[in-house]
């Protein structure tokens, strides 16, 4: 950690993909539609009976009661809870269309409710959604069943109800505890509220509690963020997700309400990141990868130690690599060698389902080279290592020759101590793990051919 200096962070302060998929979502095409997706679902169904790998489910709940100015998610701000009931009715249609093609009772080992604000749904709405999912899918014991929570929308009693519904993991959106920062981004929530909820979650037996933080927000300073880090250390969640704020008002309208003059400069952002890395290490957190930290006893840290990490559109996961069925407006899924995304506009999403059609508007069928590169990138992102012989046997290639240009490109990172390359493998060093996206980007042939990288967030 002593080698991770602000100067080193600045050197790698460049845009790049997060690699929750490869190819990345910006490569999806509108030529991929419902028929292509149905074929992928049917091919999954035709696998050996009883041997279907468990699914991952993602459900997007787009509604929020108030607008957070930094937000870049697909959301609908509304004070009308009845809109959620209509949405649930359409989700029921989408779920039924899925099981019509892939079969009822498919095993599920992972569920994630994201948004928006999933806890915008009432207790009755959440119960209806979970009953709907359980009636179509077979939830497996020991799975990861998580939900994103806006602390302003729940009480300890609501958390108890979430546990009763089967959720065993929670993710609280905190971002920053500083009152001035919260006011500047229109998300005011006292630290005492978050502390009480985390304490309640522990008492209720939730297996893991995550806290999201963002650095680079308006009115943040290294000094104010230091105070937030101290409070997080006291809170001691099982996991921490630390994200850099990307100010892109031309793409995300809510960000236009942020006072650009109040944003911290590049040096201040790097100082915040460097101090956060130091703070989390001193508190005993394991750097899982990308923006994620976990206590050594958390399942995510254990999976990293045991080489069992996987990565999907929700980030790192302890569950085996599996197909992901995504439900709801704008949701992105993966089935077999395909990716697909639903309509981003709610009216368009409803219109597809009114026609009895799955609301897929774009996606991608992966070719052989895509699959080989995905295997390499995911191995780097999850295990920090690519074993050449294993890659050769899996894909019937000479990987050293296949990736000769990429390995040559890595020479500079090797000289900087980020990677080690020998006859058997490519390995990311302990220091290089903090910049693993830069290593993975070398194998992204789309990115190497595309100089317009500004659409991506910065890699640190």
Averaged pLDDT in 10-residue chunks for the chain of 460 residues = 66 78 92 95 75 87 93 90 95 97 92 94 97 96 94 96 97 96 95 97 97 96 97 97 90 91 90 91 90 94 89 81 93 95 97 97 97 95 93 96 96 92 94 88 86 54
Distance CA 176, CA 357 (A): 42
In the prediction, which pLDDT does 2 show? 47
Q: Do 60 and 74 meet the contact criterion of CB atoms below 8 Å apart?
A: yes
Residues 396-413: pLDDT tens digits?
A: 999 999 999 999 999 999
Q: Is 272 helix (H, G, I), strand (E, B) or coil?
A: helix
Q: Which residues pair with 77 in a beta bridge?
A: 64
In the prediction, which pLDDT does 3 show? 64
Q: pTM score, two decimals?
A: 0.91
Binding-site residues from annotation for [4Fe-4S] cluster: 64, 68, 71
Q: Is 437 helix (H, G, I), strand (E, B) or coil?
A: helix
Helices 123-136 and 156-165, packing angle to 10 deg: 10
What ranges do the domains of the chain cover?
1-23+368-460, 27-325
Binding-site residues from annotation for S-adenosyl-L-methionine: 58, 70-72, 115-117, 148, 175, 187, 212, 246, 332
State the sign of the Cα–Cα–Cα–Cα dihedral 254, 243, 117, 95. positive
Q: Which residues pair with 244 in a beta bridge?
A: 215
Binding-site residues from annotation: 58, 64, 68, 70-72, 115-117, 148, 175, 187, 212, 246, 332
Query: Domain spanning 1-23+368-460 has what CATH number?
Result: 1.10.10.920
Q: Do 402 and 454 meet the contact criterion of CB atoms below 8 Å apart?
A: no
Give the DSSP per-residue string, 64-117.
ESS--TT--S--EE-S-THHHHHHHHHHHHHHHHHHHHH-TTEEEEEEEEEES-
In the prediction, which pLDDT does 431 show? 86
Query: Domain spanning 27-325 has what CATH number?
Result: 3.80.30.20
Q: Is 276 helix (H, G, I), strand (E, B) or coil?
A: helix
Q: Which of 145, 128, 149 is nearest to 64 (CA)?
A: 149
């Amino acid at each position: 950690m002593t080698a991770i200096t602000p100067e080193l962070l600045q050197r790698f302060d460049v845009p790049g993909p997060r690699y929750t998929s490869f190819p990345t979502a910006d490569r999806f095409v509108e030529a991929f539609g419902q028929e292509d997706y149905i074929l992928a679902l049917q091919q999954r169904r035709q696998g050996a009976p009883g041997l279907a790998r468990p699914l991952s489910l993602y459900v997007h709940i787009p509604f929020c009661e108030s607008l957070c100015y930094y937000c870049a998610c697909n959301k609908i701000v509304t004070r009308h809870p009845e809109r959620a009931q209509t949405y649930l009715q359409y989700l029921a249609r989408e779920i039924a269309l899925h099981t019509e093609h892939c079969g009822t009772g498919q095993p599920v080992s992972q569920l994630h409710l994201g948004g928006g604000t999933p806890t915008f749904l009432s207790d009755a709405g959440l119960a209806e959604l979970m009953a709907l999912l359980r009636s179509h899918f077979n939830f497996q014991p020991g799975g990861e069943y998580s939900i994103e929570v806006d602390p302003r929308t729940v009480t300890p009693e609501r958390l108890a109800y979430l546990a009763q519904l089967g959720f065993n993991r929670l993710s609280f959106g905190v971002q920053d505890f500083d009152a001035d920062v919260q006011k500047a981004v229109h998300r005011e929530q006292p630290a005492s509220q978050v502390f009480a909820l985390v304490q309640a979650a522990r008492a209720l037996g939730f297996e893991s509690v995550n806290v999201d933080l963002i650095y680079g927000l308006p009115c943040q300073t290294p000094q104010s963020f230091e105070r937030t880090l101290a409070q997080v250390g006291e809170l001691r969640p099982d996991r921490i997700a630390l994200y850099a704020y990307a100010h892109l008002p031309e793409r995300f309208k809510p960000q236009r309400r942020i006072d650009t003059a109040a944003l911290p400069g590049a040096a201040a952002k790097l100082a915040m990141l460097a101090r956060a890395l130091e703070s989390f290490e001193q508190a005993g957190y394991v750097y899982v990868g990308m923006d994620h930290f976990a206590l050594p006893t958390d399942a995510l840290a254990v999976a990293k130690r045991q080489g069992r990490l996987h990565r999907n559109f929700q980030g790192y996961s302890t569950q085996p690599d599996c197909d992901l069925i995504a439900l709801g407006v704008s949701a992105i899924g993966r089935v077999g060698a395909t990716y697909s995304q639903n309509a981003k506009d709610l009216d368009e999403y409803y219109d597809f389902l009114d026609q009895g059609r799955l609301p897929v508007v774009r996606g991608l069928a992966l070719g052989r080279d895509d699959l080989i590169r995905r295997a390499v990138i995911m191995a780097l992102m999850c295990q920090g290592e690519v074993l050449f012989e294993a890659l050769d046997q899996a894909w019937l290639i000479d990987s050293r020759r296949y990736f000769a240009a990429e390995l040559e490109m890595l020479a500079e990172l090797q000289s900087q101590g980020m990677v080690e390359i020998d006859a058997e493998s490519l390995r990311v060093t302990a220091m290089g793990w903090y910049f693993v996206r830069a290593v993975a980007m070398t194998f992204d042939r789309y990115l190497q051919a595309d100089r317009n990288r500004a659409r991506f967030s910065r890699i640190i």
